Amino acid sequence: MHIILNEHIEKLKNVVKGKMGIFIDAANLEQSVRDMWVNPKDIPDELKSYSINQLQWSVDYEKIKNSFQSIGKVEMIRFYSADFQTESHRKFMYFLKKRLKFSLNTKPLKKYDDHTEEKPHRKANFDVEIGVDATFYMNKFDTFILFSGDCDFEYLLKFMRGNGKIALVFSRSGHVAKELPPAASHYFDIIDFRSEILRINLIKAKNLAN
């Protein structure tokens, strides 16, 4: 496993050029990670007493920052998430802003009519915000890194490449739109970087940055 992972890391190191701008579509990223199967071989010793059904993958944002900083110069990490207006979420966002120095962009969840109390339909879409910000700050980075599998980013990826940027996409097989890998300079499957940017946790009733 370590040999395979190292091959992917070496490929990433080879394709990154200059300064990096990292843009994280939190809802899209975290949903794709939660749906990943937990392989018993990946379970850390302190969690081996639990069954696979009690465990799940989650994003470790400090690992993300440290991993990319070990590769090169990270000019910015911009994080886009719904504001859940809970104490736990406020603490989480404070950690990202103060400890990790992420730039945050939040807005309230929008409720849609096609939902029930049992199955609420709520979301906060950040396609426009990410597109505008990436374009506004594009002179500050050479490599554009997108954590999302949303098909709406196809045009943005092509725009970045057309303006001389390296455009990288990180998502999960089965969660990435078919339009994105061809539009990007390179596509990376998150599962190949699970040791570098993810962690295994006990399943909680509510995720902090759902």
- Asked whether residue 96 is assigned to any structural domain, the reply reads yes
The whole-model pTM stands at 0.88
- Cα torsion through 4, 33, 102, 163, rounded to 10: 70
pLDDT at 205: 53
- Asked whether residue 13 is assigned to any structural domain, the reply reads yes
How many domains is the chain built from?
Answer: 1
pLDDT in tens, 59-116: 999 999 999 999 999 999 999 999 988 999 999 999 999 999 999 999 987 665 555 5
Instruction: Read off the CATH number of the domain in which 82 is found.
Output: 3.40.50.1010
pLDDT, mean over the chain:
90
- Asked whether residue 210 is assigned to any structural domain, the reply reads no
What span, in angstroms and rounded, lies between the C-alpha atoms of 125 and 80? 9
What span, in angstroms and rounded, lies between the C-alpha atoms of 210 and 207? 5
